[in-house]
Structure 1
Amino acid sequence: MGDLVQAAETFISKNLGAVLKSSDFLQFGVDDVKSMLKLESEQDSIDEDKYRSVVSWTKHDKDRRRKHFSDLFRLIQLENLSNEFLNDVVHKEELVGSSVECTNLIITATLSRLLGAQVYKKMKGQSDEIIIIGGLSCEQSVAKFNTKTIQWSNMPDTNIARMWPSAVNYNQQILLMGGAEGLSGPYYNSVKMLDLNDENPKWDSNLPSMGEKRFAFASALLDGLVYCAGGWNGNSSLSSCESYNPEERKWSSIRNMNEKRNSHALVSARGSLYALGGGDGSYTKTNTAECYDPRKGKWEYIPPMKTCRYGLAAVVLNNEIYAIGGNAGSKNLSSVEKYNLDTKTWIDVPSMNEEKYGGSACVVDGLIWVFGGYGAKTVEFYDPATNKWQVSTNMDRERRFLCVLSI
């Protein structure tokens, strides 16, 4: 049976263009279409055929299939499409123009082709590498992980313990904020910076401190500003938030969240911030989530997650917010759910292979990478195209309550 399947796949691959153009293709289910789009072919124009087939398949039953269009569109190698085809065909398609994700994919592909993939990644502050900072048991340690070679390397230590800090990558400058020397403190409001643009980067402590001491808090970048929300100051959980302007080197307070939160997550998407889960400091874990729009200047609740998540990780990928792992009060979690920004609903995602409470996550090349957590030994990644988690390797050492960032 295996030989028969392989022979069939080989035949289809060699005749992929004809299969994509056939009337039978319009009757395929979405999973079969995805499988076809992932097949390689020696035909020069195969990506044009793939694009046309996706449009035709979607329009064959537009009301039901439209929701799958962006997922299928991202499986097309847009870099292989000519500028003429993009301008004369793709840009004029209503299915593409009405999708923010599809438009962003076209922009990325165009710039990547014009500038070169590695140059474009560098401009966007992205590469194949991830920086891992601090965490319980190795608070001063900083490491770098290459997602392609699966190799670890050392980076300059922070020289001061940073347990459960928060960090952002601002134009290849790593801003490391807050944290504590240990669970019982002392707690910090200080900020350090590692400039990866330097040939020999070193941590710089000559930056303005946050307005409040923050431990087990969360941060995110939005429109050139660094936002920090919630946390623990040594006495109580916080609802307070502040923003930092790196160009002006100035911190400013913004509106408090509706709830006190520590051990929560914060992400930015579509011009807003999203705070997820955490707890209020009284051993109460929450599934609530809220959104801050700087234009409105206030926090508003969004639908709660399905599961209470304390010490979770979160990322944004393909117009969806992923809430990953955490603790629900009685157990650590391997479960994952995602929030669709268009439908405003939470849906389940396949669980990780390992429970991860106090882990951290980031996105590299369309994959979600998760590191660390209480007792967690593995590095895992999630591919939305296959809807599966895979174990990549083991951690270099035990790390929980850490920060990870794509660089």
Structure 2
Amino acid sequence: MGVQHERGEQLALEKKPLIRTLPVGPAGTRNAQNVDLLFAVGGWNASGDVSCVECYNPLLHGWKVNSPVPMKRCGLGVTTLNNFIYVVGGFDGILHLSSVIRYDAKTNEWQRDVASLNEGKRDMGVAELGDFLYSVGGHDGITCLNTVERYDLSKNEWCKMAPMNIRRTALGVVAINGYLYAIGGSNGKSPLNSVERYSPEENSWSLCPALGTCRENFGCAVFQGKIYVVGGRDSIMEHCSAERFDPLTNWWSPMVPMKSKRNKVCLAVANGFLLAVGGFDGTIHLNTVEMFDPETNTWRLFTAMQQRHPGGGVGVVRLETYE
């Protein structure tokens, strides 16, 4: 399948390495470590702000701005497959995009040789499961979707899978224990608390226990064998609340809230920490990050990003880097 170029999309291919190899030290060794690098990717709003890619390296204790996303887009899906970051669909202010691009953190290079989705959409959920990339739900500019597409890297093509039972946009999607979970979101009229689970072996969806709170545009991630959901918005206000799902008990339980309200927040796991990145508190777009400490059951402030990423996403890749 070919790559679709919406509105003459220009893809700048930068080949400046992101991971720098330092000179060998006096003892003939280098202090190399395998670490998770956290990337905040893209984002755009009506004011015309276009965000780039910036990276948090725990060995450098800070965020570094890297190459920009080749085309402005918000409501994009971001996930990692084979240690590459994939940016899926989104909205450029006029069109709902079907294009998919891939970021190589080793070379700081954007690649455009990825097949496009079968339909343009924004605010979908994306996740990796079984060496496949899934795009779930979203909005095509007219209606909320229940469609599901799966990307096969070996064939470089997307194919449609069984649709969800419920139309969902601004949902959360995660993979755990061989299943894909589609969580909350909106049906286009109101936020949802319903949850459904996809079995790739049966190519079918089944309903699961519901969230304690209806919410859309929240952060969602798997951490220490449980599904965590934080922030988002109901039909009235932004949330700082959080809850988690234990697949063993098949139940959601509330947890300590974040320090800030965060609608459109991104949630990621890197270097053993659960991180809530950015979001909108009802007044401003945030560049702050909060970290959850399971031992103390508290959230605390983490190193803030250099930029804000409204409608962007986050991805994590594990690379060998040097102090």
Deviations 1:60-104 (A, max 9, x none): xxxxxxxxxxxxxxxxxxxxxxxxxxxxxxxxxxxxxxxxxxxxx
Out of 141, 147, 152, the position equivalent to 1:234 is 141
Say whether residues 1:396 and 2:306 are aligned partners: yes
Matches within 5 A, 1:117-136: 121=34, 127-136=35-44
8 Å CA contact retained: 1:287, 1:304: yes
8 Å CA contact retained: 2:172, 2:184: yes
Counterparts of 2:57 and 2:257 in 1: how far apart (Å)? 24
8 Å CA contact retained: 1:339, 1:345: yes
Say whether residues 1:405 and 2:315 are aligned partners: yes
Counterparts of 1:355 and 1:298 in 2: how far apart (Å)? 35
Match of 1:368 in 2: 274
CA displacement at 1:266 relative to structure 2: 0.3
Out of 167, 177, 186, the position equivalent to 2:78 is 167
Counterparts of 1:286 and 1:148 in 2: how far apart (Å)? 40
CA displacement at 1:348 relative to structure 2: 0.9
Q: Which runs of 4+ in 1 moved over 6 A?
A: none
The amino acid across from 2:305 in the alignment is M
CA displacement at 1:174 relative to structure 2: 1.4
Aligned residues: 280
Larger proportion of helix: 1
Counterparts of 1:395 and 1:154 in 2: how far apart (Å)? 9
The amino acid across from 1:403 in the alignment is G
8 Å CA contact retained: 1:132, 1:144: yes
Label 1:324 to 1:270 Cα distance change in 2 as closer, same or farther (>3 A). Answer: same
Match of 1:202 in 2: 109
* Superposition RMSD in Å: 1.6
CA displacement at 1:401 relative to structure 2: 1.8
8 Å CA contact retained: 2:54, 2:63: yes
Stretch of structure 1 that moved more, 172-181 or 261-270? 172-181
Residue segments in structure 2 that go unaligned for 5+ positions in a row: 1-30, 318-323
The amino acid across from 1:345 in the alignment is W
Say whether residues 1:299 and 2:205 are aligned partners: yes
Counterparts of 2:121 and 2:139 in 1: how far apart (Å)? 5
Deviations 1:26-83 (A, max 9, x none): xxxxxxxxxxxxxxxxxxxxxxxxxxxxxxxxxxxxxxxxxxxxxxxxxxxxxxxxxx
Match of 2:181 in 1: 274
Larger RCO (CA within 8 A; separation ≥ 6): 2
8 Å CA contact retained: 1:312, 1:324: yes
Counterparts of 2:221 and 2:36 in 1: how far apart (Å)? 17
TM-score by length of 1: 0.66
Instruction: Give the fraction of aligned pairs with identical amino acids, expressed as a percent.
Output: 26
Determine which structure has more spread, i.e. the larger CA radius of gyration.
1
Stretch of structure 1 that moved more, 348-357 or 151-160? 151-160
Counterparts of 1:145 and 1:404 in 2: how far apart (Å)? 11
Out of 193, 213, 224, the position equivalent to 1:287 is 193
Matches within 5 A, 1:103-118: none
CA displacement at 1:181 relative to structure 2: 0.8
CA displacement at 1:140 relative to structure 2: 4.6
Out of 384, 387, 393, the position equivalent to 2:294 is 384
Larger proportion of strand: 2
The amino acid across from 1:289 in the alignment is V
Match of 1:21 in 2: none
The amino acid across from 2:313 in the alignment is C
8 Å CA contact retained: 1:366, 1:383: no
8 Å CA contact retained: 2:74, 2:90: yes
Aligned to 1:326, what secondary structure does the other structure show? coil
Deviations 1:286-339 (A, max 9, x none): 111110011121111110000011101101011110011100111100000000
Label 1:338 to 1:143 Cα distance change in 2 as closer, same or farther (>3 A). Answer: same
Residue segments in structure 1 that go unaligned for 5+ positions in a row: 1-116, 122-126
CA displacement at 1:149 relative to structure 2: 3.8
TM-score by length of 2: 0.83
